[in-house]
Amino acid sequence: MSFDTVFVANRGEIAVRVIRTCRALGLRTVVGYSEADRGSLPTRLADRAVCLGPARAADSYLRIPTVVAAALGTGAQAVHPGYGFLSENPEFGRQCAAAGLVLIGPTPAQLERIGNKLAARQAAIEAGVPVVPGEAVDTPEAAQRAAAAIGYPVLLKAVAGGGGRGMKRVDAPAELAERFALATAEASAAFGDPRLYVEAFVATGRHVEVQVLGDGERVIHLGERDCSVQRRYQKVLEEAGAPRLAPTLRTALHEAAVRFAASLGYRGLGTVECLVDPVREAFYFLEMNARIQVEHPVTEMLTGLDLVAEQIGIAQGAALRLAQSEIRFQGHAIECRINAEDPSQDFRPSPGTVRMVRWPDAPHVRVDTHVESGYRIPPFYDSLVAKLIVHGADRARACAAMREALAATRIEGIATNLALHQAILADTDFATGGVDTNWLGRALPRLLAPGLQAVPA
């Protein structure tokens, strides 16, 4: 499985991230780009860049035959899919394998099983990992029966996907038929699969996920992350470790994640996402993401590991180079996702030209971005501009460091959620730690209040 050239099948900050690690490892890189990304930072950093097609992702980044042909035609022997796009597509994994390309990630069979939420849920049950009460449904009538048995409120969720698409909360029987139709339509449009399942809704749940790493024989964990600061099921801010989590519950989460991944013979980097019920001090398996996560830098800041390098080592056939007892967690880390969107206009996307950008420069701050002064943000993809990541000896000092980093950041020419992050970091609820996944939705009216000033660092 040895290779010396990696095809980066992605764009934006994650493409930059992968290219830089490959360069540090002495590997040549080729990046595929769409016409909208011509001349972008990843295309200039890679050893070679090749156009995959028009701007729309469906015509470029998501075209499996095109990506495979581009990798082969440029002499790559391996493909790093990053996150999103084809990163969890089992058919992409199969076509890479058929072409003799190493996919830097889990096996196609593992992608198939994990990508289907019902199959992943069953695997969790078989591994002895608790799951949220629920069941698959194929009609509104079946959903009504299941919801009545579970008890309202419930969530309708897409079998084939995540990221909040195809997900609807239902608080009463009268709402179910309409929400079922909406969720089915969303799931079909987003994933090509209209199937849904119903699960109980935990009103004050926290989203806590565990980073795992496996070589097909052995699995270790790299700690947990709290991703509860969300808006409409989209993560906004993440931190590691999870604040205000009972030690016994933290240990149980780690052990369950390792047990689940080990039951799959998991190979590569993955994240086991759980819903934590702080009232009952219980947790439930939600899903597993079989790829690198957007928020992986906070884990890197705590462990000192390069997770992309670990992915590549396993893809080259190496065994895990560390035992669980050798993983050390130092301090606390926070990541803010800076998006090109306008919070005052219901978070409307804000593509356009970045006239000027200034990122913070301090030893405890990391900036993952592909954006520079003069860059034009295209309207065709997600709105992520950059990730600001800070590390502190403890959570209080990490929060202080993030306030300083946000204050030092300047972006002109587009609307961003920078001020929202400043408001979050200034909020007493967030400072206390342990907010639930609905906290941001409840807090937005005061966080976005006109004239709100962030507390100076």
Kindly report which listed range (69-73, 319-323, 417-421, 453-457) carries the lowest average pLDDT score.
453-457
Instruction: Report yes or no: 49 and 71 within 8 Å, Cβ to Cβ.
Output: no
29 and 148 both lie in a single domain: no
Q: What is the mean pLDDT of the chain?
A: 94
Domain boundary among 147, 173, 200: 200
377 and 296 both lie in a single domain: yes
Question: Does residue 355 sit within a domain?
Answer: yes
CATH code of the domain covering residue 306: 3.30.470.20
Question: Does residue 415 sit within a domain?
Answer: yes
- Rounded-to-5 percentages of helix, strand, coil across the chain: 35, 25, 35
Separation CA 224–CA 240 (nearest Å): 6
Separation CA 380–CA 287 (nearest Å): 27
Kindly report which listed range (29-38, 155-164, 318-327, 330-339) carries the lowest average pLDDT score.
155-164
Question: Does residue 222 sit within a domain?
Answer: yes
40 and 170 both lie in a single domain: no
Tell me 71's DSSP state: H
Look up residue 103 and give its amino acid.
L
Domain boundary among 104, 119, 152: 104
Question: Does residue 408 sit within a domain?
Answer: yes
- Joined together, the tokens standing for residue 139 give 């009609």
Question: Does residue 398 sit within a domain?
Answer: yes
pLDDT at 257: 98
Region 47-59 average pLDDT: 97
195 and 211 both lie in a single domain: no
> Alpha carbon 394 to chain centroid distance?
24
Name the residues annotated as catalytic: 291
Look up residue 180 and give its amino acid.
F
Containing structural domain, residue 169:
133-200
Instruction: Report yes or no: 79 and 103 within 8 Å, Cβ to Cβ.
Output: yes
99 and 163 both lie in a single domain: no
Domains: count for the chain: 3
Decide: helix, strand or coil at residue 379: coil
* Angle in degrees, CA 232, 437, 419, rounded to 5: 70
CATH code of the domain covering residue 36: 3.40.50.20
> In whole angstroms, how far apart are CA 285 and each of 21, 33, 120, 129, 133?
31, 36, 9, 7, 10
Decide: helix, strand or coil at residue 188: helix
- Joined together, the tokens standing for residue 133 give 């009460």
Separation CA 131–CA 199 (nearest Å): 9
State phi, psi for 29 to the nearest 5 degrees: -125, 145
pLDDT tens figures, 435-457: 999 999 999 999 998 644 333 33
Decide: helix, strand or coil at residue 157: strand
Separation CA 415–CA 336 (nearest Å): 16
pLDDT at 203: 77
Region 3-22 average pLDDT: 98
What's the sign of the alpha-carbon dihedral 271, 362, 427, 164?
Answer: negative
167 and 261 both lie in a single domain: no
154 and 224 both lie in a single domain: no
> Residue 412: pLDDT above 70?
yes
72 and 171 both lie in a single domain: no
Question: Does residue 114 sit within a domain?
Answer: no
Furthest-apart CA atoms within the chain: distance in Å: 60
45 and 172 both lie in a single domain: no
Domain boundary among 52, 87, 104: 104
- Strand segments (E) across 281-374: 282-289, 332-339, 341-342, 348-349, 352-353, 356-358, 365-369
Question: Does residue 157 sit within a domain?
Answer: yes
pLDDT tens figures, 282-298: 999 999 999 999 999 99
* Burial 11-31, CB ≥16 within 10 A → b, else e: bbbbbbbbbebbeeeebbbbb
Closest CA to 261 of 437, 383, 428, 107: 107
229 and 344 both lie in a single domain: yes
> Residue 33: pLDDT above 60?
yes
318 and 390 both lie in a single domain: yes
- Joined together, the tokens standing for residue 332 give 């606390």
Question: Does residue 125 sit within a domain?
Answer: no
pLDDT tens figures, 139-172: 999 999 999 999 999 999 998 766 677 889 999 9
- Joined together, the tokens standing for residue 149 give 């048995």
192 and 246 both lie in a single domain: no
